[in-house]
Amino acid sequence: MASQTPRKHQARKRFGQNFLHDQGIIRHIVACIRPKPEQKIVEIGPGLGAITEHLLASAGHLDVVELDRDLLPHLRISFASYGNNLRIHEADALKFDFSSLSADQQLLRIVGNLPYNISTPLIFHLLSYTDLICDMHFMLQKEVVLRLAAEAGSNNYGRLSIMAQYFCRVDNLFEVPPEAFDPRPKVDSAIVRMAPYTELPHTAQDFKHFEQLVKSGFAQRRKTLRNNLKGIADDEQLQSLGIDPSIRPERLTVGEFVALSNLLTQTPS
């Protein structure tokens, strides 16, 4: 059981801090995660320890990555009874080497109430570690979760959707209202589960090319593939894969983007 936090911490805008306090929501999140003692669990941005307490109670040990040094005394005092079973890493998650936490081929389970201002770049950073990750459960701005989980053809579908779904199965679990936080954010939030595939459904032969192709494809969403991919892919190449050059990029599935990338990397320049 966590002891009393030593003093009230003022949420900092520059860290995008909104502390979750709704116990019902917290229990729901932990129930979705189902942490177990034998698992390697990592929490990004534990804040005042609202979720940390429940993760420790279930798993018995935990690694946390926290950037705000003013929060470290809160965590150390509140969870002192856990001793070395709580390892605190004072670091920026955007730059943190998550492979340093992986040992004995044990996959990481990553949890976090992510600051809205860094959520997208942080997800891209974590996608580079998917071979070390079992799953990820994040509290994010609802708009970001909708983009992550969007299907091809929808308005929310884009580069983030494709890159996340290339590596992971993505599930939009449930929404969280602003009143569950202190201070209240101006946007709705949602919980997302991202589970890396053990075997990719579609494999890009040249991942860097695939990544750049997706970026170019969505350079201007309202333009057609023909326009966005001018100088990269011609109509004949698109049509050879059954792709209409006049459609917009959000109509292409992850598999179709991979197939196009593989075709282009095989085609002599």
Q: Where in the chain is the domain with CATH 3.40.50.150?
A: 13-196
Which pLDDT score, from 0 to 100, does residue 184 have?
85
- Calculate mean pLDDT across residues 173-195: 91
Task: Provide the residue type at 60 as one letter.
Answer: G
In order of 35, 40, 43, 75, 265, the CA distances from 87 in angstroms are 17, 12, 10, 10, 44
- The tens digit of pLDDT for each residue in 7-30 reads 454 444 444 457 788 999 999 999
Sheet strands (E) in the chain: 19-20, 40-44, 62-66, 86-90, 108-113, 133-141, 168-176, 181-182, 189-196
Residue 102 has pLDDT above 60, yes or no: yes
Arch. (CATH architecture) of 207-266: Orthogonal Bundle (1.10)
| d(C-alpha 194, C-alpha 256), whole Å | 21
Q: Where in the chain is the domain with CATH 1.10.8.100?
A: 207-266
- Calculate mean pLDDT across residues 233-249: 97
Which pLDDT score, from 0 to 100, does residue 7 have?
43
In order of 119, 157, 186, 193, the CA distances from 149 in angstroms are 15, 8, 22, 9
Residue 140 has pLDDT above 70, yes or no: yes
- On whether the 13-196 domain is CATH 3.30.360.10, my answer is no
Q: Which two tokens mark 105?
A: 């081929």
| d(C-alpha 148, C-alpha 24), whole Å | 25
Helix (H, G, I), strand (E, B), or coil: what is residue 257?
Answer: helix
What letters, b where the CB count within 10 A reaches 16 and e where it falls short, cover 171-197?
bbbeebeeebbeeebeeebbbbbbbbe
Comparing 111-115, 244-248, 255-259, the range with the smallest average pLDDT is: 111-115
Q: Which two tokens mark 172?
A: 């939009």
pTM for this model (two decimals): 0.89
Which pLDDT score, from 0 to 100, does residue 40 have?
96
- Calculate mean pLDDT across residues 208-218: 97
Helix (H, G, I), strand (E, B), or coil: what is residue 229?
Answer: coil
- The tens digit of pLDDT for each residue in 68-97 reads 898 899 899 999 999 999 999 999 999 999
Which pLDDT score, from 0 to 100, does residue 267 have?
57
| d(C-alpha 35, C-alpha 108), whole Å | 11
Average pLDDT, the chain: 90
